[in-house]
């Protein structure tokens, strides 16, 4: 029942709509029109105002044909840079970027799958529960849309998030993440005439980073410093360096320990250089996600995969997504793979056949939820 050509064409149209974080207005307008044409009631919450974006989270209510608990279907509308002027290239079953931008399959593959399943339900008159479609904003900025979602507008409390790569995988575990903002303070001086009077913030930073555990810490924990800014001119001893980083772990105690280690590295480095100091702010971005393999939503997805003749496995992933936030806010959701590959790079690609497989499992989940 899933129409592969329509699914492909919908994805191609969606990825060519620019929708960087906080600029999701155009894609939201298109999706609103299509959902209303399918008989859905569409509304937006105030998340856009809270984050300074063009539009809030799109929340659509698709009437059910069975008296059953509503099912949530969630994907995010925003994409990362470079994501302006996407020109997709079709090579048989594969859709890829032309090498100048990301493709935007993260997460427009998820949106296309949701939209195809809603279309099939309405066109075929399938028996299905009420569907609550939520397309969030600003996921790529730290799950901001899900964080500010007006949950009172959403009746469903179980469902699927579509925001991961491997088809045939349903992700039930994801790490929690802490965000670090660091300012290293030194003392400015003329680099040629009086370097002894200065304290190089770059040198202090280097001393800290050289002793820091970064990258893969263990099977559950990672850490990264991803942004560094500092210095004014080559003839001035730099008096300030700003860093932004993160730590992630499936284990809350390990996450706390890694952040404490990173803080200690900066503080100890500052002590090496008289006159230097550091300020470090550590904030929780989102908590870890762990949905039991025996949870009702997992039993439903496994039964759906069997019905669709597809294999499915549960697993953990290294990244966070809207599912992290939603599971903390009273929902029971898991993250279904859509087939997007090499995301956040200009080499991004996916297979239409993988999207079809994910859509078939999704459609079977919707149908089985009518009796669950």
Could you give the CA distance from residue 275 to residue 318 in angstroms, rounded to a whole number?
39
Say which residue the tokens 């991004």 belong to: 348
Could you give the CA distance from residue 347 to residue 342 in angstroms, rounded to a whole number?
6
Catalytic site includes residue 78: yes
What token pair was written down for 103? 């493709």
Q: Are 157 and 330 in contact (CB under 8 A)?
A: yes
Could you give the CA distance from residue 76 to residue 61 in angstroms, rounded to a whole number?
17
Which runs of consecutive H residues, i.e. helices, occur in 92-246? 105-124, 144-147, 201-210
Catalytic site includes residue 9: no
Catalytic residue among 24, 107, 116, 139: 139
What Rg value do the Cα atoms of the chain yield, rounded?
23
Angle (deg, nearest 10), helices 4-15 and 105-124: 140
Q: Are 75 and 110 in contact (CB under 8 A)?
A: yes
Catalytic residue among 24, 78, 246, 322: 78
CA torsion sign, 323 to 325 to 331 to 332?
positive
DSSP string across 285-330: EE--EE--TTSHHHHHHHHHHHHHT---EEEE-SS--HHHHHHHTT
Neighbours of 93 (CB within 10 A): 14
Backbone angles phi, psi at 31, to 5 degrees: -65, -35
Count Cα atoms within 13 angstroms, Cβ side, for 9.
Answer: 5
- Burial classification of residue 175, based on how many CB atoms lie within 10 Å of its CB (0-12 exposed, 13-18 middle, 19 or more buried): buried
Question: Which residues form the catalytic set?
Answer: 78, 139
């Amino acid at each position: 029942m899933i129409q592969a050509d329509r699914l492909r064409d919908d994805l191609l149209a969606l990825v060519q709509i620019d929708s960087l974080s906080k600029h999701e207005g155009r894609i939201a307008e298109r999706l609103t029109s299509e959902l209303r044409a399918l008989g859905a009631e569409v509304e937006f919450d105030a998340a856009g105002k809270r984050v300074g974006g063009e539009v809030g989270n799109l929340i659509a209510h698709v009437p059910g044909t069975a008296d059953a608990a509503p099912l949530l279907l969630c994907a995010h509308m925003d994409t990362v840079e470079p994501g302006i002027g996407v020109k997709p290239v079709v090579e048989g079953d594969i859709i890829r970027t032309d090498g100048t931008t990301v493709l935007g399959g993260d997460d427009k593959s998820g949106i296309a799958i949701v939209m195809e399943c809603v279309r099939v339900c309405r066109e075929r008159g399938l028996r299905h529960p009420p569907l609550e479609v939520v397309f969030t904003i600003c996921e790529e900025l730290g799950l901001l849309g899900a964080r500010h979602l007006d949950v009172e507008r959403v009746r469903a409390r179980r469902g699927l998030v579509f925001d991961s790569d491997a088809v045939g995988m349903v992700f039930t575990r994801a790490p929690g993440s802490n965000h670090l903002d660091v300012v290293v303070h030194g003392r400015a001086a003329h680099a040629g005439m009086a370097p002894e009077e200065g304290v190089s913030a770059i040198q202090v930073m280097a001393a800290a980073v050289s002793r820091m555990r970064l990258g893969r810490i263990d099977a559950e924990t990672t850490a990264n410093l991803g942004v560094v800014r500092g210095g004014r001119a080559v003839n001035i001893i730099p008096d300030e360096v700003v860093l932004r980083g993160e730590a992630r772990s499936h284990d809350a105690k390990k996450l706390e320990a890694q952040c404490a280690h990173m803080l200690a590295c900066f503080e100890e480095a500052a002590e090496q250089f008289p006159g230097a100091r550091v300020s470090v702010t550590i904030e929780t971005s989102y908590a870890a996600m762990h949905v039991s393999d025996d949870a009702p939503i997992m039993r439903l997805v496994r039964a759906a995969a069997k019905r669709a003749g597809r294999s499915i496995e549960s697993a953990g992933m290294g990244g966070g997504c809207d599912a992290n936030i939603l599971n903390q806010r009273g929902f029971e959701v898991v993250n279904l793979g859509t087939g997007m590959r090499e995301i956040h790079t200009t080499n991004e690609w996916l297979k239409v056949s993988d999207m079809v497989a994910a859509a078939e499992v999704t459609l079977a989940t919707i149908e089985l939820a009518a009796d669950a």
